[in-house]
Structure 1
């Protein structure tokens, strides 16, 4: 049974979510169609550009992504502090970059509204926009509708492009976040589409390896760009908001995991365990199982048993799917 989005997303518990959307038609979102021989590789760049554009407009950061042949993964961070710092005019400017807006708000921006009742109406519209710019559902809608219309136009057809609603998964702690990010970044290697991280194009790990998320190397072709959500451990300045680990440690962990998966030598795992794996408190076998099956075997929410209990309480659930499996694996 389809669950309401309010039962899947609870910002009280976590700002981090893993989202997945799949293409409904036989024709691929990206890649090469083996039946027609037509290539859709160029659509991968559509996805990357749109993801970064939306991240710059919405108060939602991108921690990780991978664009596959018939689906894509996103790990998102809802940034409530960013939207709170925006003035009403800044909210309007953001919204107008995507949608046509509202006549009464346009008049308010020009200072043409005098009656207090009209001003209140305009401010109420802006309040709704502020909420939507913090909403993962609106982010995904703006992404999927744009790609669907563009692909349908190219294919000269009509109808559904995506397989129903997108799936979302709450990441309740740092361990769940990092595991999910690694799972997403390793998608091309698990699918044998790439041999090394630096060759895994159209993924966040590719951007990070090639320093595309840094200020000096912009991450998209638009004039306005927003970097991937950063790793902040070891920062010298005042602690900025970000993923609380060091980027070099994350790259080491994902590279090590990718080599084990690619070589298919689980019984010959190197004794040189990555530093970050020890910090997470996971042994190598448990980590590899999570990194290979995170998106397949765990649904709804992932975290410690206490965090799962709180998430269930806040979202009106009696049970979290995969809870027993997580308990056996992590405890």
Structure 2
């Protein structure tokens, strides 16, 4: 039986979550339907554009994404600090850019001269909307509803387009985060949709690589892709908000891993282990297992055994799931 969403998300344990949504229809989200030869490839751009657009409104950052034929992956970072910094009026404006709000909020936008009772009542809604604007369930719900409506209109039909619930995994530490980022970015290569990260359309990997090619200082957060959570370097004091790795290290790791996954290229693999794996103390064979079977090896919580132990109270759990995989691959 699926666990309630509140038992799958805990900001006290981690702000990082890997989410996956899959279609329920025989027809593709994207790609070409072999039975009709009708192409749905343009829907990948729909989803990519809406995903990045929503990140500007929600206090949710995009760390990685890959849009496949009948599903998509995204690694989300919940930015509570950003949500808490929004003013009363800014929360209302952000919510109204997504939904209609209510009679009170609509009146307030026209004339903010409210009585104390009206302002107090509106404040209750603003508090609720602030929570929803940093909630991955609301983020995924809004994204999937938008694409579902467009697809149903194009297909001239009604009904469910996505599975009832998106799947989520909490990424509890650096090892889990790095493995999941690479797992997502290399999805098209494993599926034989692309031969390399830089040619994998509608992925965060391609977007980051294209930007890095034109940047003078690829590792500087200000010279990375604006729509994505930046790589800010290895952990240090006064660390800015972002992924705790160097971008160049991560891209080298992607290239190395992609070559290993493509069996036809095994003869050309460099013997040099990317430095990011050395820092994280992950064996190369374990890394390859992680980046090809991440979803199947871990259920719900992903991290080292100690990270699993520390996270249990936050998720109202008594038992460590996927403990054997954690000990073997991340321990």
TM-score over 0.5 for the pair = yes
1:189-212 CA distance string (max 9 Å, x none): 011111111100100000001118
- Provide structure 2 residue ranges, at least 5 long, that are not aligned to the other structure: 217-224
Q: CA deviation at 1:86?
A: 0.7
- Counterpart mapping for 1:109-148 below 5 A: 109-148=109-148
The residue that corresponds to 1:261 in the other structure is 261
User: Greater relative contact order (Cα 8 A, min sep 6): structure 1 or 2?
Assistant: 1
Q: CA deviation at 1:313?
A: 1.5
- Counterpart mapping for 1:55-204 below 5 A: 55-204=55-204
Q: CA deviation at 1:111?
A: 3.9
The residue that corresponds to 2:222 in the other structure is none
1:237-285 CA distance string (max 9 Å, x none): x742101111010000011000111135779853211111111101110
Q: CA deviation at 1:104?
A: 0.6
The residue that corresponds to 2:313 in the other structure is 313
Are the counterparts in 1 of residues 303 and 330 from structure 2 also a CA contact under 8 Å? no
Q: Distance in 1 between matches of 2:214 and 2:88?
A: 29
The residue that corresponds to 1:270 in the other structure is 270
TM-score computed with the length of structure 2 as normaliser = 0.92
SS in 1 for 2:168: strand
Q: Distance in 1 between matches of 2:227 and 2:215?
A: 7
Q: Distance in 1 between matches of 2:171 and 2:159?
A: 33
Q: What RMSD in Å do the two structures reach over aligned CA positions?
A: 2.4
- Counterpart mapping for 1:34-53 below 5 A: 34-53=34-53
Q: Distance in 1 between matches of 2:242 and 2:281?
A: 21
TM-aligned CA distance change 1:6 to 1:213, over 3 Å: farther
**Number of equivalent positions:** 323
Are the counterparts in 1 of residues 287 and 329 from structure 2 also a CA contact under 8 Å? no
SS in 1 for 2:33: coil
TM-aligned CA distance change 1:212 to 1:53, over 3 Å: farther
Q: Distance in 1 between matches of 2:257 and 2:292?
A: 9
Q: Distance in 2 between matches of 1:282 and 1:167?
A: 26
Q: Distance in 2 between matches of 1:212 and 1:50?
A: 23
Q: CA deviation at 1:4?
A: 0.2
